[in-house]
């Protein structure tokens, strides 16, 4: 067995007992996490990435793809400089706006895919420079309100 195979076996052993979807989600999070890591990988740098904000010049999630724990895929719906929005592709329900479920990632938590709700958004941006702007936005709009002409979430314009 080659060294690469031994290393791969050692890593795959850690996935024992996980569902395939959980393993795919973990692999995607790891790939995103490693995108921000230095080369060669250093544990101090990895800890720094987890504990701090990502550099403003970096993409939040360069892969624009994720799988939810329920097995549904999320497609990239839009972004701005601090926020990426994903829309869940439901396999069973029709594609009507009332069934739409949105998720988000921010530069403040680029490894987490969080359901887009007012509460979750406010928790995620608490004590950041965006907090005041988003509070003002949420006073007049629902978090998933769309522009009628462009069909783009208004949140991305704030």
pLDDT of 55 reads 47
**Ramachandran area for residue 20 (φ above 0: left; ψ -120 to 50: alpha; else beta):** alpha
pLDDT value, residue 30:
79
Give pLDDT tens digits for 35-52.
Answer: 767 778 788 877 776 665
pLDDT in tens, 96-134: 777 889 999 887 776 778 899 999 999 988 888 888 999
What's the pTM? 0.62
Q: What residue segments make up the domains of the chain, in order of their start? A: 3-113
């Amino acid at each position: 067995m080659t060294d690469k195979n031994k290393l791969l076996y050692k890593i795959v052993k850690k996935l024992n007992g996980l569902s395939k979807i959980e393993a795919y989600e973990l692999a995607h999070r790891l790939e995103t996490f490693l995108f921000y890591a230095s080369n060669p990988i250093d544990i101090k740098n990895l800890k720094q990435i987890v504990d701090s904000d990502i550099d403003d010049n970096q993409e939040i999630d360069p892969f624009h793809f994720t799988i939810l724990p329920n097995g549904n895929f999320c497609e990239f719906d839009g972004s701005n400089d601090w926020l990426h929005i994903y829309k869940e592709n439901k396999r069973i329900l029709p594609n009507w706006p009332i069934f739409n479920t949105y998720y988000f990632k921010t530069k403040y938590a680029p490894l987490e895919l969080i359901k887009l709700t007012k509460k979750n958004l406010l928790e995620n941006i608490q004590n950041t420079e965006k907090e005041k702007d988003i509070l003002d936005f949420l006073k007049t709009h629902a978090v998933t309100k769309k522009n009628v002409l462009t069909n783009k979430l208004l949140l991305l314009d704030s």
